[in-house]
Amino acid sequence: MAFDRLIDNIIEKQNPTVAGLDPKLDYVPASIKDACFAQYGKTLEGAAAALLAFNKAIIDQIYDIVPAVKPQAAYYEMYGWQGVKALAETIAYARKKGMFVITDGKRNDIGTTMEAYATAHLGTTDVAGESIDAFGADALTVNGYLGTDGIKPLVQICKEKDKGIFVLVKTSNPSSGELQDMTLTNGASVYEQMGSMCERWGEELGGKYGYSGVGAVVGATYPEQLKEMREKAPHTFFLVPGYGAQGGGANDAKNAFDKNGLGAIINSSRGIMCAWKKQGLTEEDFAAAARAEALRMKEDILSVIGEIKA
Amino acid sequence: MAFDRLIDNIIEKQNPTVAGLDPKLDYVPASIKDACFAQYGKTLEGAAAALLAFNKAIIDQIYDIVPAVKPQAAYYEMYGWQGVKALAETIAYARKKGMFVITDGKRNDIGTTMEAYATAHLGTTDVAGESIDAFGADALTVNGYLGTDGIKPLVQICKEKDKGIFVLVKTSNPSSGELQDMTLTNGASVYEQMGSMCERWGEELGGKYGYSGVGAVVGATYPEQLKEMREKAPHTFFLVPGYGAQGGGANDAKNAFDKNGLGAIINSSRGIMCAWKKQGLTEEDFAAAARAEALRMKEDILSVIGEIKA
């Protein structure tokens, strides 16, 4: 299953982290923007070209040390279809470099429509007999509010194409508890219920490390819930946002891992993309600064979980 | 507020329905596909050109009698960025014809990322001082699982730009109850809790008909819950899927309306796009068949709710 490929990559690189690619135009150095605007004007096309050049430079600097990237769809949609084209090109570029690509789209819908999303992001689209990858990521984040119908088509494509999904369970934002922390009459919280649904949905997609192809998003900003869910969802691999810019530290993130240092991947987006600011460098050094931050983050996490063992 | 514009349009046309534009390549007549494939090849570009031509023909046939269209993002993403370009062009075309456009994307994320989605779909994107509409719909469907942080940036843009959102409350699919029908310890169901959050989120966006700019998605396939939510969320305008192909009828949908025939808009997607099949016509008559079905649906709904009054 797909997360076996991801875990293989994590073990080989001894690095359980993923670089979030949520590029805002503000993060892109002036030299890149100026060149793109000179070629395409101050247009969505120009902006998209700048994002793509920025992403490629970061990928070039980290692909040998970081196992995965997570482009966030919203930051591409913000620049129209031209931005969405840059998303597709970013995915293709990162995969060519051997990285595992998680498209962060949090997609959700009824069954027939989820088939279309699953096809779009993880499968292949049929055009009059031609099979074409529309976006072709390795995994997609999804929202399980609609229940099993909305997840089944994804599980089917994950099985056929060796892909994975991450379902939102306990998100990293301040108000995530408004609904997710409420208690149901069966004694479980809403997020706990969602976690148990992930365990069930993953049954068909077992992997060699004990983790299924149905993962969960659980934020580092809620370390207690992270610890609880690690125990209650032992076959569910975690994608953990909230480290760094959102306030989570290595000791918080630690709760996501099992005793072998497996079971989770920790995301950092702004921390890596905007590393030059923190390191007191100029923006022209953004890519080297991103590499330095990726290495620092890896060491930070490994310092609390130790060696990652198969 | 945005839903005032929508309601004005509903009253003027005496038609509380929205045409879903979820075009699959299978629905598009061979003559359109052949012409597009001849020009662009059997590619995503060719498929996207066919979808756009199909949508435009349907819009041309219904814009004078139907107040709104609802393109479903998944069916465009399935055809890559080329499909997403067709989505943007469909939105622009429908708006030019005076239709209210609801992008059905069910987007959701943490606050900073929701700002990007809100900008993408409802706002204007800043590119080095130039303000550009990326998609420019009138309303967007969203998922409220992440709580207030994920809704606030949308409410802000709705206020600034006269737009609206529809939050998933009780969805139309068979397994929607798995989570949504569970009872919380405060006595409310999960969907009811989400409905009360919609009432609260809408407080800042009141409209002249008593409905706020924060609407809710409640399926016609669950008429009892629809009736319950109409009573419990009196300021929340409903987008009602599930009529027609999914099994809901006019008597089910009736529960979504208030005593003036306001408070809801009923969606039909496959029923309208594939009307030629039901009417025993050839696929070349798809656009005329779509108009006939749109008129039949309008009469069907009006027959149970009566005249729509301001």
In chain A, residues with a C-beta closer than 8 Å to the C-beta of B24 are 116
Amino acid B246: pLDDT: 81
How many A×B Cβ pairs under 8 Å?
A: 239
Spatial distance between the Cα atoms of B23 and A48, rounded to a whole number of angstroms: 27
Chain A, 200-259: which have a CB under 8 Å from a chain B CB? 241, 246
The answer to whether the CB atoms of B128 and A175 lie below 8 A apart is no
Do A78 and B119 count as a contact with CB atoms less than 8 A apart? Answer: yes
Contact residues, chain B, for A110 at CB < 8 Å: 171-173, 241, 246
C-alpha–C-alpha distance, residues B53 and A56, integer Å:
35
Contact B88 A81 (CB under 8 A): yes
Which chain A residue is nearest to residue B194, measuring alpha carbons?
A: A179
Of B109, B128, B179, the CB nearest to A194: B179
Q: Which of A25, A106, A126 sits opposite B127 (nearest CB)?
A: A25
Contact criterion met (CB below 8 Å) for A221 and A256:
no
Q: Give the whole-angstrom CA distance, residue B5 versus residue B157.
A: 16
Structure confidence at residue A244 (pLDDT): 86
B130 interaction partners in chain A (CB closer than 8 Å): 42-43
Q: Which amino acid is at A31?
A: S
Half-sphere exposure of A57 (CA within 13 A, CB side): 22
- Cα dist. B254→A186, A220, B249, B263 in Å? 34, 45, 9, 11
Q: Is B128 on the interface with A (CB under 8 A)?
A: yes
Give the single-character DSSP code of A112. H
Exactly one of A24, A56, A85, A106 is catalytic; name it.
A106
Please answer whether residues B17 and B267 qualify as being in contact, where contact means their C-beta atoms are separated by less than 8 angstroms.
yes
- Select from A22, A103, A112, A199 the residue whose CB has the most chain B CBs within 10 Å, as the one to mutate to test that interface: A112
Contact between B19 and B265 under an 8 Å Cβ cutoff? The reply is no
Q: Is A182 exposed, middle or buried (0-12, 13-18, 19+ CB in 10 A)?
A: middle
Q: Please give the torsion angle defined by the CA atoms of residues A172, A101, A278 and A76, in that order, rounded to the nearest 10 degrees.
A: -80
Closest approach of A269 to chain B, Cα-based (Å): 12
A-chain residues near B216 (CB < 8 A): none
Q: Given B25, B148, B177, which is nearest A175 (Cβ)?
A: B148
Yes or no, beta carbons of B113 and A72 under 8 Å apart: yes
Q: What pLDDT score was predicted for residue B248?
A: 87
A177 to chain B: which residues are within 8 Å by CB? 147
Contact between B266 and B259 under an 8 Å Cβ cutoff? The reply is: no
CB-CB under 8 Å, A110 with B106: no
Give me A267's structure tokens: 């995301």
Question: Which neighbouring-strand residues pair with A85?
Answer: none
- Smallest Cβ distance to B75: which of A116, A148, A179? A116
What pLDDT sits at residue B247? 86
B159: left (phi over 0), alpha (psi -120 to 50) or beta: alpha
* Cα A161–chain centre separation: 18
A106 as an active site residue: the answer is yes
Give the integer Cα–Cα distance in Å for A245 and A272: 10
Distance between CA A308 and CA A251 in Å, rounded?
A: 16
Q: What is the value of ipTM here, to two decimals? A: 0.97
Mutate to test the interface with A, among B178, B270, B273 (most CBs of A within 10 A): B178
Instruction: Find where tokens 């068909």 sit.
Output: A204
Q: Cα(A66)–Cα(A68) distance, rounded to whole angstroms? A: 6
> Is A182's CB within 8 Å of B177's CB?
no
Phi (first) and psi of residue B102, to 5 degrees: -105, 110
Residues 6+ apart with CB under 8 A from B191: B169, B170, B180, B181, B218, B225, B229
Q: What is the pLDDT of residue B2?
A: 76
B77, B147, B179 ranked by CB distance to A175: nearest: B147
Partners of B243 in beta bridges: B248
User: Which has the closest alpha carbon to B249: B176, B303, B174?
Assistant: B303
Q: Please tell me which of the candidates A85, A125, A172 has its beta carbon nearest to residue B81.
A: A85
pLDDT tens digit at each of 310 positions of chain B = 679 999 999 999 999 999 999 999 999 999 999 999 999 999 999 999 999 999 999 999 999 999 999 999 999 999 999 999 999 999 999 999 999 999 999 999 999 999 999 999 999 999 999 999 999 999 999 999 999 999 999 999 999 999 999 999 999 999 999 999 999 999 999 999 999 999 999 999 999 999 999 999 999 999 999 999 999 999 999 999 999 878 889 999 999 999 999 999 999 999 999 999 889 999 999 999 999 999 999 999 999 999 999 8
B280 in the Ramachandran plot: left (φ > 0), alpha (ψ -120 to 50) or beta?
left
| Pairwise CB contact (< 8 Å): A168 & B148 | no
Calpha distance B33→A190 (Å, rounded): 46
What is the rounded CA–CA span in Å between residue A107 and residue A71? Answer: 14
* pLDDT number for residue B243: 94
CB contact A303 to B (< 8 Å) = no
CB nearest to B145's CB, from A33, A121, A143: A143
What's the average pLDDT block by block, 10 residues per block, for chain A (310 residues)?
A: 92 98 94 97 98 98 98 98 98 98 98 97 97 98 97 97 97 97 98 98 96 97 97 98 89 96 96 92 94 97 96
The B residues from 142 to 201 touching A (CB cutoff 8 Å) are 143-150, 168, 171-180, 182-186, 190, 193-194, 197
pLDDT of residue B99: 98
Q: What is the pLDDT of residue A248?
A: 87
Check if B282 contacts A (Cβ < 8 Å).
Answer: no
Find which of B132, B146, B155 to mutate to test the A interface (most A CBs within 10 Å of its CB): B146
